[in-house]
Amino acid sequence: MAKTVFVLGAGFSKSAGFPLQSEILSLVTDSLFVGGSDILSDPDLPAHKFRKHRQQLVEFLRQAFRTRDQRLEDIFTLLDQAITNHATFGTYSLTQLINIRDSWIRAILFCLHKCSEQHLAKTVSIYVRFAAWLIRQRIEAGRGGDPVSIVSLNWDSLLEDSVFYVIRRLAALRQIDIDYCVYTTPLDENPDICPHVPSPKQKASGIYNLKLLKLHGSATWLRCPNSGLVYTGLGMETPNSELYVTPRRSPFMEAHPGDPASRSVAMLEPYIITPTYSKVFDLPHIQTTWHNAFVELR
């Protein structure tokens, strides 16, 4: 049976109101609207944190570049190289640079998740139709089938959100699941809260797995810096703009209170390859994703 592999770039999400990479900087620092709504007017905690960090990020831009013609790549190249070399920059200490980098990433993810939430609130979505088609193809191929896979260069979770929108409409949680082709751990071990099943266990559990390979990481991935585990909250009812943006402790470290490392604050980190001129692809989940993408495409 022939197999179809879809390769998704930045243009895939554009018509849903998502910014291109060249537009993200202005969305974070200038624009107040996502999907026609003023996201800064939201009373929820993520919006409050975004308003707080936005001022810090704008001030960093003013001090670091002194012009308005910088690009996102310029910002992350400066931050990544300074942090890698354990350097300081201007009046910013190494710790401050690490915190600013984290704030940039969380601000970007907040905007991307808000875009997805705004789009899926609409009554008609071509992305939901595409997700439904993918699910139908997967089910018709049988549990052992492998008719389609998706290789994505995007961080955003529009496709995942659309797939789980359809899954919920079908009342098929834990019957159909996203397969990232790497080991992803549910954010909550209670399947009634987080229905996602780790990718290697899906077929063995009789689940129809839909392969989605995220070459640059994902807005739905959170990494424990101590254990290296990658967590995801796929299928959870908590809004993604809160789930993946609000800082949270590592479930692994909380489950091992006797470990000396757990006495320190181990917060989950967003797991995306930042837009920098000195990209690093040596993290295990990213290397595995690229290898599996090669297998899918060859």
Task: Provide the Cα torsion 158, 160, 165, 168; round to 10°.
Answer: -170
139 shares its domain with 281: yes
Helices (H) and strands (E) in the chain, counts: 11, 10
Residue in the block written with tokens 């984290």: 102
Cβ atoms of residues 189 and 156 within 8 Å: no
Q: Hey, CA dihedral for 24, 241, 180, 224, is it positive or negative?
A: positive
Task: Note the pLDDT of residue 279.
Answer: 80
168 shares its domain with 237: yes
**Domain assignment of residue 181, given as a range:** 4-13+124-297
- Of 120, 137, 172, which one is at a domain's C-terminal end? 120
264 shares its domain with 279: yes
165 shares its domain with 113: no
Task: Note the pLDDT of residue 43.
Answer: 57
63 shares its domain with 164: no
pLDDT in tens, the chain (298 residues): 689 999 999 899 999 989 888 888 888 887 656 555 565 566 566 677 787 778 888 889 888 887 777 889 999 999 999 999 999 998 999 999 999 999 999 999 998 998 899 899 988 899 999 999 999 999 999 999 999 999 999 999 999 999 999 999 999 999 999 999 999 999 999 999 999 999 999 999 999 999 999 999 999 999 999 889 999 999 999 999 999 999 999 998 888 766 665 556 679 999 999 998 888 788 899 999 999 999 999 8
63 shares its domain with 176: no
How many folded domains does the chain comprise? Answer: 2
145 shares its domain with 268: yes
153 shares its domain with 173: yes
Task: Note the pLDDT of residue 27.
Answer: 81
Task: Provide the Cα torsion 289, 291, 294, 298; round to 10°.
Answer: -140
Q: How far is CA 50 from CA 7, 156, 174, 272, in A?
A: 32, 18, 33, 19
290 shares its domain with 153: yes
d(CA 271, CA 283): 10
d(CA 120, CA 127): 9
Pairing of strands 176-179, 208-214: parallel
153 shares its domain with 254: yes
The residues near 286 (Cβ < 8 Å, ≥ 6 apart) are: 215, 216, 217, 273
8 shares its domain with 71: no
- Of 70, 96, 120, which one is at a domain's C-terminal end? 120
pTM of this structure: 0.92
- Of 77, 103, 120, which one is at a domain's C-terminal end? 120
Q: How many CA atoms lie within 13 A of 12 on its CB side?
A: 20
72 shares its domain with 186: no
